[in-house]
Amino acid sequence: MYGEIMIIGHRGFPTVAPENTIPSFRRAMKSGADGIELDVHLSKDGVPVVCHDEKLERTTNGQGLIADHTLEELKKLDAGSWFSAEFAGTPMPTLEEVCKLMTEWDGWLNIELKTNVIPYPGIEEAVLALIRKYDLVERTMISSFNHYTIKTWHDLAPAVPAAILYSNQLYQPWRYARTVGAAGLHPHHSTVTPELVKEALTNGISIRPWTVNKHEDIKRLMLYGVTGLITDRPDLAARA
């Protein structure tokens, strides 16, 4: 923590290891970060897996949608070679594998439910079962660009905080957040003003902008008093 500001490694530590893989999360955990962020989809057979895109092409040697592949098929893919030869053969992790890794660390887990393109019915229940199994309920936060998912999550597990992800300037988002049961705002950093931070905090809503990578933006948002920030450079943020 920098004072009260929580530093969250975006997809782990994606500038030094392939995003959303165990090596990326391990490096984030050693970087000075207070938490890690990751993206979750469901495999064809309903298993929560960690990857940013719906499609396999950018970060694996597979083709097509995650949703059209079973876990067994996904586990055969290489999710590391696209980044560098050093990580050749690194598999796509399941959320369960990351939950196990979290038991070796005391930081926060920010699970982004990637339901904004494919709805993945049942993803909320599957994720909740895992964070309960690994005793992570007290240090997990959920986020999503799909705010129906946030409402579903809040109805299912109100004790596990949820945050709305958004990219543009919402009007009075601290009020809107309440309507979907969100306890936090995860806005694109370019939309964040001192007034927004002040209103959110005054109204009991936390605020953690993404993806804040430049030193001057990190400093600016820290001065505004954000609750936390999500960054590709958890090392820089922790030193800022």
- Is 39 among the residues that bind ligand G3P (CB under 6 A)? yes
Cβ partners under 8 Å of residue 182, min gap 6: 147, 150, 154, 162, 163, 164, 205
**Which CB atom, from 73 or from 166, has the smaller least distance to ligand G3P?**
166
Residue 38 touches which member of Mg ion, ligand G3P, none, C-beta under 5-8 Å by kind: none
Task: Give the rounded distance of the alpha carbon of 203 from its chain centre.
Answer: 24
For the CB of residue 67, give the shortest distance to ligand G3P in the complex, in Å: 17
Handedness of CA 83, 87, 91, 97 (dihedral sign): negative
Closest CA to 111 of 126, 97, 127: 127
Q: Which residue among 10, 41, 69, 186 is the active-site one? A: 10
Length of the chain: 240
Within a 13 Å sphere around the CA of 128, how many CA atoms are in the beta-carbon half? 17
State yes or no: residue 186 binds ligand G3P (CB under 6 A): yes
Which residue is it, tokens 């820089």? 236
Out of 140, 143, 206, 227, the residue judged to bind ligand G3P by CB under 6 A = 143
Our CB check for ligand G3P shows the closer of 73 and 139 to be 139
Q: Of 136, 132, 149, 134, which Cα lies nearest the Cα of 40?
A: 149
Contacts to Mg ion by CB under 5 A: 39, 112
How many chain residues are in contact with ligand G3P, going by CB under 6 A? 11
Question: How near is the Cβ of 39 to Mg ion at its closest, in Å?
Answer: 4
In the chain, the N- to C-terminal Cα span, in Å, equals: 11
Choice among 52, 69, 154, 189 that is catalytic = 52
* Cβ at position 12, least distance to ligand G3P in Å: 11
Tell me how far, at minimum, the Cβ of 240 lies from ligand G3P, in Å.
19
Tell me, yes or no, if 52 is annotated catalytic: yes
Residue 144 CA to residue 165 CA, distance in Å, equals 5
Residue 215 falls in the annotated catalytic set: no
Positions touching ligand G3P (CB under 6 A) are 10, 37, 39, 52, 112, 143, 165, 186, 210-211, 230
Instruction: List the catalytic residues.
Output: 10, 52
